[in-house]
């Protein structure tokens, strides 16, 4: 499981980071894992929070989404591998 860590966010990235955090429950999934964020909801949230530079925030958000998707799917694959081992061999 990913452990929470504190990070400094540069002011120019603040809108994208906040939007990413607001979208934490808006992931689209499929049987093989996380596919990506629901952009319809992302755009609605940008309207709701009156994001000024929507294009830039979306592009920044997509970079974070891509890396998060990799990490989430890697974690899920590891968990599935552990779950598929026989009960006496889970190390």
Asked if residue 85 belongs to a domain, the reply is no
Q: What is the pLDDT of residues 48-84, one digit of tens each?
A: 999 999 999 999 999 999 999 999 999 888 888 887 7
pLDDT of residue 28: 95
d(CA 15, CA 61): 9
Domain count, the chain: 1
DSSP 88: G
User: 23 is in which domain, residue-wise?
Assistant: 12-75
Domain assignment present for 56: yes
pTM of the model: 0.78
> Pick the residue with more confidence: 76 or 85?
76
The tens digit of pLDDT for each residue in 13-50 reads 999 999 999 999 999 998 888 999 999 999 999 999 99
Q: Could you give phi then psi for residue 38, rounded to 5 degrees?
A: -80, 100
Contact between 36 and 70 under an 8 Å Cβ cutoff? The reply is: no
The 10 Å CB-count burial string (b at 16+, else e) for 63-86 is: ebbeebbeeeeeeeeeeeeeeeee
For the chain, how long is the longest CA-to-CA vector? 55
Task: Please report whether residue 45 resides in a domain.
Answer: yes
Confidence band for 88, pLDDT divided at 50, 70 and 90: low
Which DSSP letter does residue 13 get? G
In a domain, 86, yes or no: no
């Amino acid at each position: 499981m990913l452990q929470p860590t504190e990070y400094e966010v540069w002011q120019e990235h603040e809108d994208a980071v906040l939007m990413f955090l607001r979208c934490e429950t808006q992931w689209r999934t499929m049987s093989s894992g996380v596919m990506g964020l629901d952009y319809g909801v992302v755009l609605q949230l940008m309207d709701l929070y009156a994001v000024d530079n929507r294009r830039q925030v979306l592009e920044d958000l997509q970079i974070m989404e891509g890396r998060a998707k990799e990490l989430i799917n890697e974690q899920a694959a590891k968990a599935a591998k552990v779950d598929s081992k026989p009960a006496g061999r889970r190390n």
